[in-house]
Amino acid sequence: MIMSDAHISIPEYESLAPAFHSGQLDAKAWVAAAKRGGMTYVVFTAKHHDGFAVADEGDAIQVFDATPLHRDPLRE
């Protein structure tokens, strides 16, 4: 885990969330590309073991509230 291995405190880790930038995330385009490539399912990690959640699930550190994205990519 990055927090324990790098000795990062929870407040310091939380302060890094606004720097997360997804670029031009287009979930539909990703799924379409996966289908064109022959994939039949996708495995999506919705929550990092250090507590950073991609889905809007009420955690202290989540993409929806803590980053400039302000969307739920998992729902998309």
- Residue partners of 63: CB distance under 8 A and separation at least 6: 20, 22, 52, 53, 54, 55, 56, 69, 71, 72, 73
Per-residue pLDDT reduced to its tens digit, 12-47: 887 877 777 666 778 889 899 999 999 999 888 777
The pTM of this model reads 0.52
3-class DSSP state of 52: strand
Q: Does the structure show a pLDDT above 70 at 71?
A: yes
Tell me how far apart the alpha carbons of residues 6 and 32 are, in angstroms, rounded to a whole number.
37
